[in-house]
């Protein structure tokens, strides 16, 4: 068993209990999509349940250039790669729900964002984040996860300015700091082999950490938290 499969199996075991409740019947088409990822745009186009728009993800430098000069070819995304809209929303993370119709909802466990995060950050399941159910069995309780837990147990995660004891389930779309927080969670899962949608071709390793820490710069100009929010929102990396 390779490491990815081993982590996936561990993650599924830990995601039992509350996370494993209410499993709808899986669609064979969606199973195939999960295996194939989003490498082939024609495959994506065949899913009638998918939203009509696509993810036109521009790199931070390209997006910044368009803001400065909106008359460039970037205005219509000319020459830019098109990605499927397959990122979890803020609501998906705060309620641990799959993104319906996105190819991230194979069944009641696969596709729930916290379940998938556990497959690549298994140390997040510990005495601080588990709860005992009515049968005396422990399960991972996403509602206990704080920003401090992410900093401690998720490799490379940067706190964008929240108190360490802030519960992730309580972050809101009205707070600009929420966007780099959720973007990091999406990035950690979506650059992996299982759900790879080439998010790391759009935004590179380290850029989100800089955005979260308030140190991100393009063309010598620092980005404010509001500009970071606008970039992540407008490129569908994080949506409410």
Q: pLDDT tens digits for 89-145?
A: 999 999 998 876 555 554 444 578 998 899 899 999 999 999 999 999 999 999 999
Arithmetic mean of pLDDT, 209-225: 93
Say what the pLDDT of residue 198 is. Answer: 77
pTM over 0.85: no
**Among 219, 201, 182, 196, which Cα is nearest to 65's?**
219
Say what the pLDDT of residue 57 is. Answer: 72
Q: Has residue 204 been placed in a domain?
A: yes
Query: DSSP 3-state assignment of 158?
Result: coil
Q: In percent, how much of the chain has pLDDT > 90? A: 44
Q: Has residue 240 been placed in a domain?
A: no
Reading the block at residue 38, the tokens are: 């989003």
Residue 148: pLDDT over 90 = yes
Q: Has residue 134 been placed in a domain?
A: yes
Q: Has residue 13 been placed in a domain?
A: yes
Of 33 and 152, the one with more pLDDT: 152
pLDDT digits (tens, 9 = 90+) for 170-196: 999 999 999 999 999 999 988 887 777
Q: Has residue 54 been placed in a domain?
A: yes
Arithmetic mean of pLDDT, 202-230: 93
pLDDT digits (tens, 9 = 90+) for 49-102: 333 334 567 778 766 655 555 554 444 444 444 444 568 899 999 999 887 655
78 neighbors 72 (Cβ within 8 angstroms): no
Q: Is 184 left (phi over 0), alpha (psi -120 to 50) or beta?
A: alpha
Neighbours of 80 (CB within 10 A): 16
Neighbours of 200 (CB within 10 A): 14
Residue 154: pLDDT over 70 = yes
Of 199 and 5, the one with more pLDDT: 199
Arithmetic mean of pLDDT, 132-159: 96
Say what the pLDDT of residue 110 is. Answer: 52
Residue 219: pLDDT over 60 = yes
Say what the pLDDT of residue 81 is. Answer: 45
Reading the block at residue 157, the tokens are: 């995660």
Note down the domain range covering 214: 3-234
Q: What is the DSSP letter of 217?
A: E
Q: Has residue 87 been placed in a domain?
A: yes
Q: How many domains does the chain have?
A: 1
Q: Has residue 83 been placed in a domain?
A: yes
The residue behind tokens 């005992």 is: 132
Q: Has residue 239 been placed in a domain?
A: no
Q: What is the DSSP letter of 117?
A: H
Arithmetic mean of pLDDT, 6-11: 46
Which backbone phi and psi does 163 adopt, to 5 degrees?
-65, 140
Residue 36: pLDDT over 50 = no
């Amino acid at each position: 068993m390779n490491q990815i499969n081993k982590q996936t199996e561990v993650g599924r075991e830990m995601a039992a209990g509350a996370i494993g409740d209410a499993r709808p019947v899986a669609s064979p088409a969606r199973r195939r999509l999960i295996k194939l990822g989003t490498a082939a745009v024609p495959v994506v186009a065949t899913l009638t349940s998918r939203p009509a728009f696509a993810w036109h993800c521009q790199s931070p430098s390209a997006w910044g250039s368009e803001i400065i000069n909106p008359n460039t070819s970037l205005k219509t995304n000319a020459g830019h790669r098109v990605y499927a809209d397959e990122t979890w929303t803020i609501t998906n993370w705060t309620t641990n729900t799959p993104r319906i119709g996105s190819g991230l909802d194979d069944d009641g466990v696969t596709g729930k964002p916290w379940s998938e995060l556990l497959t690549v950050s298994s140390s997040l399941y510990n005495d601080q984040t588990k709860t005992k159910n009515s049968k005396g069995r422990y399960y991972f309780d996403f509602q206990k996860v704080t920003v401090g837990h992410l900093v401690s147990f998720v490799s490379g995660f940067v706190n964008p300015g929240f108190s360490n004891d802030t519960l992730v389930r309580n972050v809101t779309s009205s707070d600009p700091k929420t966007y780099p927080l959720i973007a990091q969670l999406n990035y950690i899962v979506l650059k992996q082999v299982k759900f790879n949608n080439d998010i790391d071709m759009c935004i590179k390793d380290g850029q989100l950490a800089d955005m979260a820490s308030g140190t991100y710069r393009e063309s010598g100009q620092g980005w404010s938290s509001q500009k970071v929010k606008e970039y992540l929102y407008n490129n569908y990396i994080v949506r409410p």
